[in-house]
Amino acid sequence: MPQFASRLGRAKPSAIMQVAEKAKRLKAEGRDIISFSIGVPNFLPGEHVYAAAREALERDSGQYGSNRGSDALLDAFLGHIGEIGLTGYTRANCATGIGAKHVIYNLCEALLDEGDTIAFPVPYWTSYVDIAEILNAKIDLLPCPAEQDYKLTPSQLDAALAKKPRVFLFNNPSNPTGMVYSKDEISALADVIAKYPDTWVITDDIYNRMVFDGVGYHNFVHARPGLRDRVIFIDSLSKTYGMPGWRVGFMAGPESVAKAVVTMNSNHITNLPEVTTAAAVAALAGPQDVPRAKCAEFAAKRDQVMAVFDAIPGVVCPRPQGAFYVFPDISAYFGKTHGPSGLKVDDDVGFCSALLEAKGVACVPGSAFGEPRALRISYTCPTPQLAPGLERIREFFAELA
């Protein structure tokens, strides 16, 4: 049999999907499963989005489109990021892709040669490692444990950038922790970045509209406008608009980088589909009441989740201020046994597996995100499921001895 390329041996299926699959299987077997595993927003966009998609279908040009994205889509994106203070960009600074994941993949392919270093904080979004590994880049992991609120410090960043990685990849608000960097924290990190001109900065900020408690969303370019020739901002429709399956992602950054992504698109995908593009324009430029209402709902759900974890002795759970995740450090419970089921909890994977078996609650082990002391709760399930799911988790902890 002919051989596969060696890069395929480095690509791993997502650990998150593995948990979701197990939960799905148990559900199919008739078990009552509450899923806090997969990071989907679990709502649908407003009717105006569907109306725009239907209308585009009626007007179908039947043609290929722009490798960068249609002018209407780029203009809608520019308007959208202008609202969060990212102004002064033009269409030439932007590019689109089949979701943020695809844009990040394209960027990594465009910026990293084999053996180049990409540095990023831990916990990280799983695909960062997978993409870097497929591309045979070296990974410099910057550990940010619960004790430091899962946030990167300026001195850690300084030490990492002094080693001149080709790319520093940042994520704010964070998946899996939900943590959000304050204006001062971003400013302090931006000061460090300014000292190291040889490193590109990708800031994956797709949860920028899901920020709670009035902390606001802050970006390195806000803090230091001079960084815009090296900072690449990533956005997506997936979470903000409840449109993960529509697959629309964006970047705004230096013209040369946008052009590189356009070149990648011309070879990978050619263009975003016309109907999807019309829906995306409607989402970005149309009424914003659905995303606003969902952000408020997620803030309230965050409170509900935190009320439970704050009351569990030994759990360290920094309070998230964005996205829709909570990431408790549960390592104080490793080595215990779940009384009623007799299941042993040796580590995060054992914990999540026992929780799923014993209580029918699916969470993702922290090791999927490089932090094996924790687990991730994604709390976008239908509201009536949240309280019972949390109660089962509370009981499970209480039954560990």
Residue spans of alpha helices (H) in 151-288: 154-162, 183-194, 220-223, 255-268, 274-285
Residue 283 contacts ligand PLP per CB under 6 A:
no
Beta bridge partners of 169: 202
CA–CA dist 241, 261 (Å, integer)? 24
CB of 324 to ligand PLP, least distance (A): 10
- Which one, of 220, 222, 171, 172, lies nearest residue 196 by Cα? 220
Residue 249 contacts ligand PLP per CB under 6 A:
yes
Residue 244 contacts ligand PLP per CB under 6 A:
yes
CA–CA dist 102, 106 (Å, integer)? 6
The stretch among 95-103, 107-115, 292-300, 350-358 that binds ligand PLP (CB under 6 A) is 95-103
Chain positions 319 to 378 lying near ligand PLP, rule: CB under 6 A, are none
Residue 175 contacts ligand PLP per CB under 6 A:
yes
Residue with tokens 């994520």, as numbered in its chain: 171
Which of 80, 101, 228, 301 touches ligand PLP by CB under 6 A?
101
Count residues binding ligand PLP (CB under 6 A). 13
The stretch among 94-102, 136-144, 195-203, 283-291 that binds ligand PLP (CB under 6 A) is 94-102
Buried b or exposed e, range 232-264, using 16+ CB within 10 angstroms: bbbbbbbbbbbbbebbbbbbbbbeebbbbbbeb
Q: Which is nearer to ligand PLP, 152 or 308 (CB)?
A: 152
The stretch among 96-104, 136-144, 147-155, 162-170 that binds ligand PLP (CB under 6 A) is 96-104
Which of 78, 100, 260, 400 touches ligand PLP by CB under 6 A?
100
Rounded alpha-carbon distances, angstroms, from residue 243 to 43, 298, 360? 8, 16, 27
Chain positions 66 to 85 lying near ligand PLP, rule: CB under 6 A, are none
Residue 271 contacts ligand PLP per CB under 6 A:
no
How many angstroms separate the first and last alpha carbons of the chain?
A: 52
Q: Which is nearer to ligand PLP, 241 or 397 (CB)?
A: 241
CB of 386 to ligand PLP, least distance (A): 20
Q: Which is nearer to ligand PLP, 68 or 101 (CB)?
A: 101
Q: Which two tokens stand for residue 252?
A: 């705004």
Which of 105, 125, 168, 324 touches ligand PLP by CB under 6 A?
125
Which of 35, 96, 199, 236 touches ligand PLP by CB under 6 A?
236
Residue 39 contacts ligand PLP per CB under 6 A:
yes
Which of 67, 93, 96, 171 touches ligand PLP by CB under 6 A?
171
Residue 291 contacts ligand PLP per CB under 6 A:
no
- Which one, of 178, 181, 180, 160, lies nearest residue 169 by Cα? 160
CB of 29 to ligand PLP, least distance (A): 27
Residue 99 contacts ligand PLP per CB under 6 A:
yes
Chain positions 203 to 232 lying near ligand PLP, rule: CB under 6 A, are 204, 206
Angle at 142 between CA 138 and CA 143, to 5 degrees: 135
Q: DSSP assignment of 341-361, as one string?
A: TTEEE-SHHHHHHHHHHHH-E
Rounded alpha-carbon distances, angstroms, from residue 12 to 16, 139, 188, 365, 374? 11, 16, 35, 16, 21
CA–CA dist 123, 173 (Å, integer)? 12
CB of 58 to ligand PLP, least distance (A): 27
Residue 240 contacts ligand PLP per CB under 6 A:
no
Q: Which two tokens stand for residue 269?
A: 């995908």
CA–CA dist 375, 363 (Å, integer)? 7
**Beta-strand pair 249-252/200-204:** unpaired
The residue number with the shortest CB distance to ligand PLP is 99
Report the interface residues with ligand PLP, using CB under 6 A. Answer: 39, 99-101, 125, 171, 175, 204, 206, 236, 238, 244, 249
